[in-house]
Amino acid sequence: MKTVEEIKAAIETAIPGAGVVIVPNPSVSGQHSLRITPAHAVAVATFLRDDAELSLDFLSNATGVDWPDKEVSEKVKITRTVTKTVDGQEQQVEETVEETQKRVVPGCLETVCHLFSVSKGHGPVVIRMKTANRTDQVELPSLTPIWRSAEFQEREIFDLFGIVFTGHPDLRRLLMWDEFKDHPMRRDYVEPDDFEYEPTAHDEVLTRAQEHQAKLAGMAAGQEGAGA
Amino acid sequence: MNTSGFVQEKDKREGWNRPPHIEPDGEGELLEVAMGPHHPSTHGVFRMDVALDGERVIRLKPVFGYLHRNHEKIAEGIGYLGSMPFTDRLDYMCPLTNNWAYALAVEKLTGQQVPERAEYLRVIVGELTRVVNHASSIGFLIQEMGASGTPLMYAFKAREKILDLFEELTGARMMCNYMRFGGCRVDATAEWLAATRKVVAGLPKFADEYERLLRGNEILMARTQGIGILRPELAVNAGVTGPMLRASGINYDIRRVDGYSIYNRFKFRVPLGEHWDVYDRFMIRLLEMRESFGILEQALKEIPTGPVMDPKAKIRGFRPKPGEAYGRIEAPKGELGFYLISDGGPNPYRYRVRPPSLVNLTVLEDMCLGSNVADVVLIFGSVDIVLGEVDR
């Protein structure tokens, strides 16, 4: 079977400007993956399926991964000019200072697909796609028209992660009920307040519900603060 | 087999892999029926919303989630070992193959080696699980056809003997929790191996009896032949795996293709279907059971002595290097895969089960459209699912 580098080259020959990036996998499994851009996803997927040598006709596993916003602190060397008294005279001196800076790496949602070839018996080839962010730009193109096996698995990703697949023929929740609001597999998911279903709303239950509401309100306020 | 892929030129048009559109005959109204979630043939809590024109199925939408407990989320909150007993509950008919797939994925992630004897034990318990699953799944299929009890009890007679072996080895009949990363939890005694040899020697007789009871049965043939046809190109495209894929005539057995564990040491054949219908799926399971007897005999003959766990293996509290791995095995129901992402912590960052039961149900609508409502039960039974794995 071709290596990821060869597959990347083959894709870029067939689809100019496809923008495939190799994502190395440092673990011993050595299953490196290819990140494809949503704009070219359908063309790339069709190529992978129909190319005579690759013929990846079997999409085995499609799943989502949530990468929340991450705060990284890194040390940066900054050169600045300071006024110092050297030998009794005031002079402008350049000085290098090491500072710890914090910056937020914006999060995203990701889909990962494992492709195999039934006719050739090779695989897996791992392809991934990223959304622009985690809140309002969560659309990705659906691969269901190319591999039918993505149908239920994309519905599951939509349900549990909240990625919206454009071009999916029947995008509904799969495991949670239709009226459900949130996406349980996101890492910042908080369980909903189900206390109203308690048969008898006695004091203890009401206290728990109040605590829960206060916690939710606190989280919402915290998020707004972080956004500002 | 067509080597240039299964999709023919004429099939590349838009929507070739969608369910066909069935027109009602125009007389009377459509009747919408919710089959399930408490229908005895749904093997648990599963619903099919069916639209009927007389007896004919016009539309069928499966509804999932009645048994959903977000297994994947739970697994992200506990260590790697903590999920091992939980995998038993996925496909509760085949706990040992679930253990195996998970152990294999973690071993791929960490690079852990497995001793020889443990590999043999894994193959032995894995193939015994396959026999249990195929025998009972045929039993349930016949039960749904109306043969109340008898064939299922034949299957359960063999199943009981195997479950007794599991109990003796692992301490539990169904929730075995037997495998560990880098081997198996306990070694098999010489008595256990002797008892297993005895049970395995008796299994072909059971299969003969079972086959004689069922194969030529007139009612079974009338009800299953030509029903629920699944075209091979659609089967591949829809990710169908396991006996269902092979009943559609596609030679794809992960034991052969990947040769994981020590499967490339054993001689076995891969039975394939010719008519792609419910009867073929039933026959493939019977034939695969017989191939499993062969693998069991070879494994029980060749099993070496030695440790069943790598003494240096860390089972608890280890932190795999950042990275990811996808491990898969040929479970009795199809390709069972585990996808793990490690961020260097003690818990998996992402833990994903690739459930064969759920993906095999993708084509349920395609197979059922246009057939009679009574056949839906049989077609559904021939997919062979367990809801613990579908809903996770």
Residues A12 and A45 in one domain: yes
Quickly tell me which residue has 């020959």 as its tokens. Answer: A13
Whether omega for the bond prior to residue B37 falls within 30 degrees of 0, making it cis, is yes
Q: How many CB pairs under 8 A join A and B?
A: 137
| Pairing mode of beta strands B179-180, B56-63 | unpaired
Domain that holds residue A210: 195-227
Q: Is A59 on the interface with B (CB under 8 A)?
A: yes
Mean pLDDT of the A145-149 span: 90
CA dist A58 and B233 (Å) reads 10
Q: What is the pLDDT of residue B351?
A: 93
Chain B 207-246, residues with CB within 8 Å of chain A CB atoms: 234, 236-241
| Pairing mode of beta strands B350-354, B334-342 | antiparallel
Q: Is B326 on the interface with A (CB under 8 A)?
A: yes
Residues B234 and B180 in one domain: yes
- Name the band, by pLDDT with cuts 50, 70 and 90, for residue A224: low
Domain assignment of residue A97, yes or no: yes
Whether omega for the bond prior to residue B62 falls within 30 degrees of 0, making it cis, is no
Question: CA nearest B314: which of B46, B133, B80?
Answer: B80
Mean pLDDT of the A194-208 span: 65
Indicate whether B51 pLDDT > 80: yes
Domain assignment of residue B252, yes or no: yes
Domain assignment of residue A171, yes or no: no
Indicate whether B1 pLDDT > 50: no
- Name the band, by pLDDT with cuts 50, 70 and 90, for residue A226: low
Residues B137 and B254 in one domain: yes
Q: What is the pLDDT of residue A225?
A: 56
Mean pLDDT of the A202-222 span: 77
Quickly tell me which residue has 């008519």 as its tokens. Answer: B275
Select from A33, A60, A120 the residue whose CB has the most chain B CBs within 10 Å, as the one to mutate to test that interface: A60
Half-sphere exposure of B207 (CA within 13 A, CB side): 22
- Put simply, the answer to whether B239 touches A59 (Cβ < 8 Å) is yes
Domain assignment of residue A190, yes or no: no
CA dist B222 and A185 (Å) reads 46
| Pairing mode of beta strands B31-35, B47-53 | antiparallel
With CA atoms as reference, the chain A residue closest to B77 would be A187
Residues A142 and A157 in one domain: yes
Mean pLDDT of the A66-75 span: 84
Q: How far is B339 from chain A (nearest CA, A)?
A: 9
- Name the band, by pLDDT with cuts 50, 70 and 90, for residue A227: very low
Neighbours of B70 (CB within 10 A): 16
Q: What is the pLDDT of residue A121?
A: 85
| Total number of domains in chain A | 3
- Name the band, by pLDDT with cuts 50, 70 and 90, for residue B13: low
Residues B336 and B188 in one domain: yes
Residues A88 and A119 in one domain: no
Residues B273 and B377 in one domain: yes
Q: Is A57 on the interface with B (CB under 8 A)?
A: yes
H-helix or E-strand containing A138? Answer: none
Residues B159 and B36 in one domain: no
- Put simply, the answer to whether A28 touches B14 (Cβ < 8 Å) is no
Residues B88 and B235 in one domain: yes
Residues A63 and A79 in one domain: no
Residues B27 and B161 in one domain: no
- B248-293 pLDDT, tens digit each: 989 999 998 888 889 989 999 999 988 898 999 999 999 999 999 9
Q: Is B109 on the interface with A (CB under 8 A)?
A: yes
Q: Is B363 on the interface with A (CB under 8 A)?
A: yes
Domain assignment of residue B200, yes or no: yes
Least confident of A68-82, A113-127, B75-89, B202-216: A68-82
Residue type for A167, please? G
Residues B205 and B296 in one domain: yes
CATH of the domain at B91: 1.10.645.10
CA dist B207 and B211 (Å) reads 6
Mean pLDDT of the A204-228 span: 72
Q: Taking CB atoms and an 8 Å cutoff, what residues of chain A touch B257?
A: 121
- Name the band, by pLDDT with cuts 50, 70 and 90, for residue A197: low
- Put simply, the answer to whether B17 touches A50 (Cβ < 8 Å) is no
| Packing angle of the helix pair B95-110, B116-145 (nearest 10 deg) | 140
Q: Is B257 on the interface with A (CB under 8 A)?
A: yes
Q: Taking CB atoms and an 8 Å cutoff, what residues of chain A touch B367?
A: none
Residues A81 and A114 in one domain: no
Residues A100 and A114 in one domain: no
- Name the band, by pLDDT with cuts 50, 70 and 90, for residue B4: very low
- B293-347 pLDDT, tens digit each: 999 999 999 899 888 888 888 888 888 889 999 999 999 999 999 999 998 889 9
Q: Taking CB atoms and an 8 Å cutoff, what residues of chain A touch B342?
A: 27
Q: What is the pLDDT of residue B26?
A: 73
CA dist A67 and A105 (Å) reads 10
| Residue ranges of E strands in chain A | 21-23, 33-35, 58-67, 70-86, 89-105, 108-116, 125-130, 139-141, 164-166
pTM: 0.86
Extract the tokens encoding A40.
Answer: 């070219």
- CA B31 and chain centroid, separation: 33
Domain that holds residue B31: 20-63
Indicate whether A25 pLDDT > 80: yes
Q: Is A46 on the interface with B (CB under 8 A)?
A: no
Helix H, strand E, coil C: the string for chain B is CCCCCCCCHHHHCCCCCCCCCCCCCCCCCCEEEEECCCCHHHCCCCEEEEEEECCEEEEEEEECCCCCCCHHHHHHCCCCHHHHHHHCCCCCCCHHHHHHHHHHHHHHHHCCCCCHHHHHHHHHHHHHHHHHHHHHHHHHHHHHHCCCCHHHHHHHHHHHHHHHHHHHHHCCCCCCCCEECCEECCCCCHHHHHHHHHHHHHHHHHHHHHHHHHCCCHHHHHHHCCCCCCCHHHHHHCCCCCHHHHHCCCCCCHHHHCCCCCHHHCCCCCCCCCCCCHHHHHHHHHHHHHHHHHHHHHHHHHCCCCCCECCCCCCCCCCCCCEEEEEEEEECCEEEEEEEEECCCCCCCEEEEECHHHHHHHHHHHHHCCCEHHHHHHHHHHHCCCHHHHHC
Domain assignment of residue A156, yes or no: yes
Domain assignment of residue B182, yes or no: yes
Q: Taking CB atoms and an 8 Å cutoff, what residues of chain A touch B352?
A: 61, 63
- Name the band, by pLDDT with cuts 50, 70 and 90, for residue B8: low
Domain assignment of residue A178, yes or no: no
Domain assignment of residue A125, yes or no: yes
Least confident of A70-74, B5-9, B92-96, B124-128: B5-9
Q: How far is B388 from chain A (nearest CA, A)?
A: 12
- Name the band, by pLDDT with cuts 50, 70 and 90, for residue A123: confident
- Name the band, by pLDDT with cuts 50, 70 and 90, for residue B11: low
Domain boundary residue, one of A149, A166, A183: A166
Average pLDDT over chain B, rounded to an integer: 87
**Ramachandran angles phi, psi of B184, nearest 5°:** -125, 160
Domain assignment of residue B4, yes or no: no
Domain assignment of residue A177, yes or no: no
Q: How far is A165 from chain B (nearest CA, A)?
A: 17
Q: How far is A174 from chain B (nearest CA, A)?
A: 6
Question: CA nearest A140: which of A57, A48, A45?
Answer: A45
Q: How far is A84 from chain B (nearest CA, A)?
A: 46
- B137-176 pLDDT, tens digit each: 988 888 888 888 788 888 888 899 999 999 999 998 889 8
Residues of chain B above pLDDT 70, percent = 96
Quickly tell me which residue has 């490196």 as its tokens. Answer: A32
Residues A85 and A122 in one domain: no
Extract the tokens encoding B391.
Answer: 């809903």
Q: What is the CA radius of gyration of chain A?
A: 25
Q: Is A184 on the interface with B (CB under 8 A)?
A: yes
Question: CA nearest B127: which of B247, B288, B279?
Answer: B288
Domain assignment of residue A83, yes or no: yes
- Put simply, the answer to whether A50 touches B5 (Cβ < 8 Å) is yes
Q: Taking CB atoms and an 8 Å cutoff, what residues of chain A touch B108?
A: 28-29
Q: What is the pLDDT of residue A200?
A: 61
Domain assignment of residue B173, yes or no: yes
Q: How far is A220 from chain B (nearest CA, A)?
A: 22
Q: Is A148 on the interface with B (CB under 8 A)?
A: yes
A65 - beta bridge partners?
A: A110
Indicate whether A44 pLDDT > 70: yes
Average pLDDT over chain A, rounded to an integer: 83
CA dist A70 and A113 (Å) reads 24
| Total number of domains in chain B | 2
Residues A86 and A158 in one domain: no
Residues B217 and B309 in one domain: yes
| Pairing mode of beta strands B183-184, B179-180 | antiparallel
Indicate whether A23 pLDDT > 70: yes
Q: Taking CB atoms and an 8 Å cutoff, what residues of chain B touch A145?
A: 14-15, 17
Domain assignment of residue B15, yes or no: no
Residues B116 and B136 in one domain: yes
Residues of chain B above pLDDT 90, percent = 39
Residues B144 and B265 in one domain: yes
Indicate whether B12 pLDDT > 90: no
With CA atoms as reference, the chain B residue closest to A68 would be B349
Domain boundary residue, one of B63, B89, B117: B63
- Put simply, the answer to whether A114 touches B234 (Cβ < 8 Å) is no
Q: What is the pLDDT of residue A220?
A: 76
CA dist A100 and B44 (Å) reads 57
Listed in sequence order, the residues at least 6 apart from B299 whose beta carbon sits closer than 8 Å to its beta carbon are B120, B123, B124, B127, B266
Residues A129 and A214 in one domain: no
Mean pLDDT of the A148-168 span: 91
Q: Taking CB atoms and an 8 Å cutoff, what residues of chain B touch A59?
A: 239
Quickly tell me which residue has 């193109």 as its tokens. Answer: A141
Residues B173 and B308 in one domain: yes
Residues A62 and A134 in one domain: yes
Domain assignment of residue B13, yes or no: no
CA dist A141 and A49 (Å) reads 16
Q: What is the pLDDT of residue B246?
A: 92
Neighbours of B356 (CB within 10 A): 31
Residues A8 and A97 in one domain: no
Residues A52 and A15 in one domain: yes
